Amino acid sequence: MFPAGLAPAPHAWLVRPLPEGAVDYPAGTYRYGSTQRGNLRPHHGVDFENPVGTLVLAAGSGAVVFAGTDRADQLGPAPNFYGNVVVVQLQQAYLYQPVYVLYGHLATITVQRGNWVEAGAQIGTVGGTGVAFGGAHLHFEVRVGYNDYD
């Protein structure tokens, strides 16, 4: 029970980046921070395995700062690592630093750089572009401060 006129504040900034009915729990094969027993770099995001063409939704409202392939603009550990990528800078900051959300390995991209997206809006579809170990999936990553891999 809350005093009159007060309600709990939302505790989460992000909504699920996939529609209802899609696999919206992380794949267990390459978890966040995992190095695959020292064989790979630490994983910077989470992977959601879904069929090619599954809708990908904006997890938060903000400005699209990147939409395209990362062949020339390296956003991962190597060129073309994430393939087709969208990066959204959220309207919220964390400790006065910008927050970016990266969506990687997309089959299609339905937004352009400079677009404003609302949470829940379609930004693309799941694919297997770039270096998509294990097949089609959404690579979902949150970056604070800078939109770079390191």
**In CATH, what number is assigned to the domain containing residue 65?**
2.70.70.10
| 57 located within any domain | yes
**Regions in the chain scoring below 70 on pLDDT:** 1-11, 25-43, 149-150
pTM equals 0.85
Does 17 fall in a domain?
A: no
pLDDT for the residue 7: 59
Please state the domain count of the chain.
1
Structural domain includes residue 95:
yes
Residue 38: inside a domain:
no
With respect to residue 80, please indicate whether it lies within any of the assigned structural domains.
yes
In a domain, 84, yes or no: yes
Please identify which residue in the block is written with the tokens 């005093």.
Answer: 3
pLDDT at 41: 63
Q: Kindly state whether residue 99 falls inside one of the protein's structural domains.
A: yes
CA atoms within 13 Å, Cβ hemisphere of 66: 21
Domain that holds residue 139: 50-144
Q: What is the 3 state secondary structure string of 101-126?
A: EEEEEEEEECCCCCCEECCCCEEEEE
Q: Quick count: other Cβ atoms within 10 Å of Cβ 129?
A: 21
Residue 25 lies in a domain: no
